[in-house]
Amino acid sequence: MATVKVKGFSVVRDVFGAGVVELEVGPPETVKAALAALLAKFGDPLKKVLVEPDTGEITPLLLVLNGEAISSTLDVDRSVKTGDELTLIFPIGGG
């Protein structure tokens, strides 16, 4: 079991109720497991802002793991450990 800090912004932060939340990630302690644990913890309100209704999957995201940019699609098997910080970079459009 790893305890990971997760950061989010705008509507993700609104669901978290805080800028940073602590998350318990069970084995296998990976990015994929962390995202699944996050959805389990925050339920439908988070699914509404992160999950694509068509696919039922989390929309592809840029993530920052301990200061390193990684991808929610290409790097899901990266391991996480206690003390790690995972930041969700919300899908970004222009304007």
Partner 1 sequence: MKNGFKYGGYKGQLLRVNLSKNAVTKEPLREDWARDFVGGAGYSARLLYDEIPGRVDALGPQNKLFFMTGPVNGTMIPAASRSTACAKSPLTGSLFHSIFGGYWGPELKFAGYDGLIVEGKADKPVYLWIDDDQVEIRSAEHLWGKNPFKAQEIIRQEIGDENIRIATIGEAGKNGMPYAIILLDIRAAGRGGMGAVMGSKNLKAIAVRGTGSVSVPNMLRVYNTTLRLNQIAATNPAVKGLSEYGTPRNVLSMNAAGILPTRNWQTEMFKGADGISGETMKEQVVKGHRACFACSINCTKYSVVPSGKYKSIINGPDYETVYGFGSICEVDDIRAICKVDEVCDEYGIDLIQASMSVAWAMECYEKGIFTKKDTGGLDLAWGNADAMIHLTEMIGKREGLGALLAKGTRDAAKIVGKGSERFVISNKGVDGPGHSCRPWPGTAVGYATGPRGGSHHDIRPTLEKSGVVDRTVLEGKGAMASEVNHWLILADSAVVCHLGEPIWGPAKINDNLIDALNAVTGWNLDYEQAHKIAERQWNMIRCFAAREGFTRNDDTLPIRFMEEPVPEGPMKGSLISKETLEGLKDQYYDYRGWDKKTGNPSKAKLAELGLEFAAKDIC
Least Å distance, CB 34 to partner 1, is 15
Q: Pick left, alpha or beta for residue 36 (phi over 0 → left; psi -120 to 50 → alpha; otherwise beta).
A: alpha
Kindly state the smallest distance separating residue 1's Cβ from partner 1, in Å: 26
Judged by beta carbon, residue 37 or residue 65, the one nearer partner 1 is 65
Task: Report the number of secondary-structure helices (H) and strands (E) in the chain.
Answer: 2, 5
CB 81 to partner 1: min, Å: 19
Tokens of 23: 């998350």
Q: Residue 26 — φ and ψ, nearest 5°?
A: -85, 170
Footprint on this chain of partner 1 (rule: CB under 8 A): 7, 9-11, 13-14, 48-53, 59-62, 64, 67-75, 87-95
Residue linked to tokens 């910080």: 85
Shorter beta-carbon distance to partner 1: residue 36 or 75 = 75
Q: Say if CB 72 and CB 78 are below 8 A apart.
A: no
Nearer to partner 1, 38 or 87 (CB): 87
Which CB sits closer to partner 1, 41 or 47?
Answer: 47
